[in-house]
Copies of this chain bind each other. A is one copy, B any other.
Amino acid sequence: MSSRHALAPARPVEDHRRRIEDALRPLAGRSAETVPMDRALGRVLAEDVYSPLDLPVFRNSAMDGYAVAAESVAIVPATLPLIGVVAAGNTEQVTLPPGAAVKVMTGAPVPPGADCVVPVEHTSSDGVTVTIKTSRAAGDFVREPGTDVRTGDLLAAAGTPLRPRHIAALAAVGLGEVRVLRRVRAAVLTTGDELRPAGSILLPGQIFNSNGTALAAALEDNGVEVVSVAHSTDEHDEFRARLAEAVARADVVFTSGGVSMGDFEVVKEVLAAQGGEFGAVAMQPGGPQGLSTVDGVPVLSFPGNPVSTMVSFEVFARPILRELAGLPALPISELPLLDSVRSPAGKRQFLRGKLVEGGVALATGQGSHLIVSMAQAEVLIEIPAAVTEVAAGTIVEVRPL
């Protein structure tokens, strides 16, 4: 047994993030699928959508009232013969004789011969005639065809993440389904002989596997479809088999564990042999990182400490995954840090914090294994690599967790 500990210079966080983003950004061109409109919320349009019709489709009333020719009510009060009622949904074709009135409901067709609507509040009626008390100009309370949208107008452009307001518009022109991009498909593959699934009886030296569940939740939370969550021991052959399954199903694979400087680093050993790049990134927690491509599929390898895994996801994966899913970018705010901290030279430090009156404070428990403590944290605080001491009150960059 011999030890090799040649410490390559740590790569800056931004470099590794850029490499990951370059590897994932081609997924923006992933294939499309057709979904019914009631499953389209939050999905990203794969193509421009144009209106197949004019809206309004027909000239209709903006009010409950009486459709008349404006010239019939030029002098008021004017009492006109009432020829009937047109309800919304009335599909009979009515024509208004000169000098008459027809009762119309909001949304009902305004018949030829009428050019305005007098709201019911400004009228009285005995059922046979209607007395109009206010004059109206041609066009008043009449919605003309095509004033909302015209046939062939762009309703929403390719790349639009569909919000309820877009779905309302697409439904209004009668579209029942829509072409959207597939969600990005991710596979999660945790490693480590010590990890046991929930519900197991732990032997001494074993712990529960939280990275699989946590990474899957984080992916789902950022618009990604999780196609598998699997686990491998530190055996090379088993890892190779699980990796092959993951790569076959997913657009991107996330591994945890097996990337550090120990004797049993299955992820690094297997993937480095296939051309993957592994090494230290100048950050804490989360220093050891890997990025590989297997059969054209990017494989992001995070360290196995639960806090390191989650911080790696936040720093390297979350921004580009949100971009690919059409989700809004996370707001980065600048707030005073109410605690003083020391930070290791040459490493960007990511501290877990809580929003408090007047700024942000450190959450209790900053060790990379303190995953329960991390649940109390609301934000990630970033301390630049060049900074080794931060006085209380210093403005720091903060992003939501």
Are B213 and A171 touching (Cβ within 8 A)? yes
Within the assembled complex, what's the spacing in Å between the Cα atoms of A370 and B217?
A: 39
Given contacts A165-B375, A199-B176, A261-B64, contact A213 B51 (CB under 8 A): no
Are B168 and A306 touching (Cβ within 8 A)? yes
Within the assembled complex, what's the spacing in Å between the Cα atoms of A197 and B155?
A: 19
Query: Is A137 among interface residues, defined by CB-CB distance under 8 A?
Result: no
Query: Is A310 among interface residues, defined by CB-CB distance under 8 A?
Result: yes
Given contacts A165-B310, A205-B109, A207-B56, contact A373 B7 (CB under 8 A): no
Query: Is A332 among interface residues, defined by CB-CB distance under 8 A?
Result: no
Task: Determine chain A's interface SS by DSSP, over half rule.
Answer: loop
Query: Is A138 among interface residues, defined by CB-CB distance under 8 A?
Result: no
Query: Is A330 among interface residues, defined by CB-CB distance under 8 A?
Result: no
Within the assembled complex, what's the spacing in Å between the Cα atoms of A171 and B375?
A: 11
Are A234 and B89 touching (Cβ within 8 A)? yes
- Near B by CB (< 8 A), chain A positions 73-107 give 85-93, 103, 105-107
Given contacts A172-B210, A193-B89, A370-B147, contact A5 B165 (CB under 8 A): no
Are B369 and A174 touching (Cβ within 8 A)? no
- Near B by CB (< 8 A), chain A positions 201-230 give 202-214, 216-218, 220-221, 229
Within the assembled complex, what's the spacing in Å between the Cα atoms of A121 and B7?
A: 9
CB nearest to A41 among chain B residues: B217
Are B107 and A375 touching (Cβ within 8 A)? no
Are A169 and B204 touching (Cβ within 8 A)? no
A370 CB to nearest chain B CB (Å): 5
CB nearest to A124 among chain B residues: B3
Within the assembled complex, what's the spacing in Å between the Cα atoms of A233 and B90?
A: 12
Query: Is A273 among interface residues, defined by CB-CB distance under 8 A?
Result: no
Within the assembled complex, what's the spacing in Å between the Cα atoms of A205 and B60?
A: 8
Oligomeric state, in copies: 2
Within the assembled complex, what's the spacing in Å between the Cα atoms of A221 and B56?
A: 27
Are A38 and B171 touching (Cβ within 8 A)? no
CB nearest to A160 among chain B residues: B375
Within the assembled complex, what's the spacing in Å between the Cα atoms of A158 and B153?
A: 49
CB nearest to A197 among chain B residues: B176
Are B62 and A172 touching (Cβ within 8 A)? no
Contacts of A163 in B (CB 8 A): 217, 221, 401
Within the assembled complex, what's the spacing in Å between the Cα atoms of A54 and B365?
A: 15
A45 CB to nearest chain B CB (Å): 12
Given A1-B126, A166-B375, 18 additional A-B pairs, CB 8 A: A1-B127, A5-B121, A38-B216, A40-B217, A41-B221, A55-B372, A57-B206, A64-B263, A88-B262, A90-B194, A92-B205, A109-B204, A163-B221, A164-B214, A165-B310, A169-B210, A174-B200, A174-B202
- Mind listing 15 A-B residue pairs with CB under 8 Å? A2-B127, A38-B213, A40-B217, A87-B194, A88-B193, A88-B194, A106-B305, A107-B194, A156-B375, A164-B401, A171-B209, A171-B212, A171-B213, A172-B306, A174-B208
